[in-house]
Chains A and B, each alone.
Chain A
Amino acid sequence: MFANFRLSLTWLHTWFGLVLGFVLMVAFFFGSMSVFDREIDRWSLPQTRIAAQPMPSFDRILAARFAQMTEPDPEQRELAAGRVTQPLPEKLKVTTWSAFTTHRDPVLSMFVGFEVPNSTLPDDQIFGDVTIDPRDGRVLSRDQLPIGSGFFYPMHFSLHISWYGVGYWIVGFAAIAMLAAIVSGVFMHRKIFREFFTFRPTRNLLRSTLDLHNLAGVVALPFHFLWALSGLIIFAGIYFPVIETMMHPLVEQHEREEATHTGLDLEPSGKPGRLSPVDAMVSAAKEKWASRGMPGEVGFLAVTHVGSSNAYVSIYRDSTDRVATAEGMHFDGATGRVIFEDPPVGPVETVNGFLEGMHLQQFRHWTLRWLIFVGGLLSCACIATGFIFYVEKRKRTHARDGHAGSRWVDALAVTTVTGMVVATLSILVVNRLLPENLPQRDLWEMSTFWLVWILTLVHAAWRSSALREARMSKAWPEQCWTIASLALSAAVLNAVTTGDHLGRTLSAGYWPVAGVDLMLLATAGIAAVAARKLQARARARVRDTVADNDTTLEQEPERA
């Protein structure tokens, strides 16, 4: 099909990179945002702007709250009703209680699992959840959207397409395309070491774009590779559900054997039982951690077989000081003594835990957190320059021959590069503008995001008509100006509506909100500079179009 190996790799790199690059851009941009999801949550929910809290007392606060959580999420209930052989009973049986927090969370997420009887799926469960203020157990309104963890984070891995889990699959394919693009990119790049530090901004746009593409790709190569890979590993269970399908009988047998070994029953006993004080178990677990020289707080706490005589309580350490997440300690619910402790994991699990932990970042390490954020932005830069290179390479021939290809790629590139930032900033701005107690406030915020994003697409498509004459689309500088003004507005609106201006947050050392505000101001500055440079370049282009037309294409003969 192709004359040589390099040409076929170039084809693969170009087309997979282009088609799935738009998805990758979303995954990496919102992934970078998710590195600071808890901080964005604080910015968007002013009533939660308090110091991070440890796991509260189970007996005094959590137990009562869990007991009130008797209903699963209505959406999950509706979905479950579609996979049962008999109608779902009005009241579902509670099977598990769990609570999760991190060292960055002032609020606590609580989950209750319900059994789905007569389901076509094995061990089918659905969940209900609430978020509480751990100081007093007060429930946070569902209408208040935590924009970081509740919107940007799911966008990162599912694109908010929940229909049959299609979103996960699209992102998964994009991650595979990323791995293929990295490998093919390394092969295509003939001067990977010789041009390691090379960026020539004064050369023509095609050359400098390619320099930037290579630079962002090569210097952060391990990051790009490891993060795409670990993302795939985290969702491997969705992509290859062998545990629930092909290997199910084997897995069941293994689970039964493991249960006799660990003493943690697979099924509830059927006899009612009372839970002895959980706080005592928590203290016992903390004492044990301290005695091993790794004192810590509780990150995850779960009760399995709720209300049954063989209920057990699992306690996991908040893994702030290491990459992988921690092993658990399991207590007998009735007696409060330790039944089983997860043993140290084997080599495969160690690697797996490291890759997953590094992707999920529950650790307390602000330097590494920032470095990972920068890594994500380098990925975005690499993908975005890939689009620009595609367009620059072809726009003149396309304009001459009347092809619309580079025009549409340019419009989509504007939408996924600047348009996505515009939409992201819009949801922050609208978050500060909507009345605090507006019913379905979350829906208004999310709708604004999608509507604005569509508008940026329309704007980009309209402005991309410039590509017909091989000129730069004015959408680039115009959306850069929009970014600058929205970012500035968001920071100002935060100061006006909450009073937490930078003077106050910086002097109080309240970094979650100060950090978001500083990033907004930095974004505004960078976008304004970029807009001015783009406009200057466009004016210069108009002056010497002819000269430019003659030189640019010939300087880049080596690439297809």
Chain B
Amino acid sequence: MPDAVLLVAALLVTELGMGWLALAMDVHWKQVHARARSPRSATVLRTLGTAALAASLTLCLVADTATMAVLVWMMLLAVSAATIAFVLSIRPRLLAPLAGVRRASIAR
């Protein structure tokens, strides 16, 4: 079932995108990383996040007709944003790999 694979991929890419967008914010970066972040990395993270969300929309459009795809994408955004918010409040360090942070420098 290639459609199912596409949709699972879309979900994962949306989560990734929301994760990057969250880490582009100072508050959430500090939850994951001890050291302050350079302003440039915020731009990089924001760009990565936006690109991931665009990629997930593309995946949805490949999987379904446009009207259906837009609905699926809109709901994936909601679910992913909520998941990332819960991860940040319960286990923020799960997002460390997204920030390209090495284990040693992870915030305690």
Name A's B-contacting residues (CB within 8 A): 194, 196-201, 215-216, 218-220, 222-223, 321-324, 354, 358, 363, 365, 367-368, 371-372, 374-375, 378
Complex Cα distance A352/B18, Å? 31
Residue B74, interface by CB 8 Å: yes
Contact B79 A374 (CB under 8 A): yes
Complex Cα distance A215/B79, Å? 11
By the criterion of a CB under 8 Å from any partner CB, how many residues of chain B are at the interface? 27
Contact A216 B27 (CB under 8 A): no
Residue B75, interface by CB 8 Å: yes
Contact B89 A201 (CB under 8 A): yes
Contact B67 A354 (CB under 8 A): yes
Q: How far is the CB of A186 from chain B (nearest CB, A)?
A: 15
Contact B78 A220 (CB under 8 A): yes
Residues 54-82 of B contacting A (Cβ, < 8 Å): 64-65, 67-68, 71-72, 74-79, 81-82
Contact A197 B22 (CB under 8 A): yes
Contact A197 B7 (CB under 8 A): no
Contact A222 B74 (CB under 8 A): yes
Contact A375 B81 (CB under 8 A): no
Q: How far is the CB of B96 from chain A (nearest CB, A)?
A: 16
Q: How far is the CB of A316 from chain B (nearest CB, A)?
A: 18
Contact B74 A223 (CB under 8 A): yes
Q: A198-B27, A201-B89, A367-B7 are in contact. Are A216 and B68 (CB under 8 A)?
A: no
Partner of B65, one of A199, A201, A321, A371: A321
A220, closest chain B residue (CB): B78
Complex Cα distance A196/B88, Å? 12
**16 residue pairs A–B, Cβ–Cβ below 8 Å:** A196-B25, A197-B22, A197-B25, A197-B84, A197-B88, A215-B85, A219-B81, A219-B82, A222-B78, A323-B68, A365-B64, A367-B7, A368-B75, A371-B76, A374-B75, A375-B75
Partner of A378, one of B67, B68, B78: B78
Additional A-B contacts beyond A199-B85, A201-B90 (11; CB < 8 A): A194-B27, A196-B22, A200-B89, A222-B78, A354-B67, A358-B71, A363-B68, A365-B72, A367-B4, A374-B78, A378-B82
1/0 per position for B11-33, CB-CB distance to A under 8 A? 00000001000100101100000
Contact B72 A197 (CB under 8 A): no
Complex Cα distance A222/B79, Å? 12
6 smallest beta-carbon distances between A and B, as pairs: A371-B75, A219-B81, A220-B78, A199-B89, A197-B85, A323-B67
**B86 — which chain A residues lie within 8 A by C-beta?**
199
Q: A197-B25, A197-B28, A199-B86 are in contact. Are A368 and B71 (CB under 8 A)?
A: yes
Name B's A-contacting residues (CB within 8 A): 4, 7, 18, 22, 25, 27-28, 64-65, 67-68, 71-72, 74-79, 81-82, 84-86, 88-90
Partner of B67, one of A196, A322, A367: A322
**A222 — which chain B residues lie within 8 A by C-beta?**
74, 78
**B74 — which chain A residues lie within 8 A by C-beta?**
222-223
**A374 — which chain B residues lie within 8 A by C-beta?**
75, 78-79
Among A322, A354, A358, A367, residue most surrounded by chain B Cβ atoms (within 10 Å): A367
Complex Cα distance A220/B25, Å? 20
Partner of B68, one of A215, A220, A365: A365
Complex Cα distance A199/B27, Å? 12
**A368 — which chain B residues lie within 8 A by C-beta?**
68, 71-72, 75
Complex Cα distance A233/B41, Å? 46
**B82 — which chain A residues lie within 8 A by C-beta?**
215-216, 219-220, 378
Contact A194 B67 (CB under 8 A): no
Contact B68 A219 (CB under 8 A): no
Q: How far is the CB of B26 from chain A (nearest CB, A)?
A: 9
Partner of A322, one of B7, B68, B90: B68
A373, closest chain B residue (CB): B75
**B64 — which chain A residues lie within 8 A by C-beta?**
365
Q: How far is the CB of A383 from chain B (nearest CB, A)?
A: 16
Complex Cα distance A466/B22, Å? 40
B8, closest chain A residue (CB): A367
Complex Cα distance A538/B102, Å? 41
Q: How far is the CB of A222 from chain B (nearest CB, A)?
A: 5
Complex Cα distance A365/B70, Å? 13
Partner of B78, one of A197, A219, A365: A219
Complex Cα distance A365/B63, Å? 11
Contact A197 B75 (CB under 8 A): no
B67, closest chain A residue (CB): A323
**A198 — which chain B residues lie within 8 A by C-beta?**
27, 85, 88
Q: How far is the CB of B14 from chain A (nearest CB, A)?
A: 11
Contact B88 A199 (CB under 8 A): yes
Partner of A375, one of B18, B67, B78: B78
Q: How far is the CB of B2 from chain A (nearest CB, A)?
A: 13
Complex Cα distance A199/B89, Å? 6
Q: A197-B22, A197-B25, A358-B71 are in contact. Are A371 and B79 (CB under 8 A)?
A: yes
Q: How far is the CB of B95 from chain A (nearest CB, A)?
A: 10
Contact A197 B81 (CB under 8 A): yes
A194, closest chain B residue (CB): B25
Complex Cα distance A324/B67, Å? 9
Q: How far is the CB of A227 from chain B (nearest CB, A)?
A: 11
Complex Cα distance A200/B86, Å? 9
**B65 — which chain A residues lie within 8 A by C-beta?**
321-322
Complex Cα distance A196/B77, Å? 12
Complex Cα distance A322/B65, Å? 7
**A215 — which chain B residues lie within 8 A by C-beta?**
82, 85
A202, closest chain B residue (CB): B89
**A363 — which chain B residues lie within 8 A by C-beta?**
68
Complex Cα distance A365/B64, Å? 9
Q: How far is the CB of A371 from chain B (nearest CB, A)?
A: 4
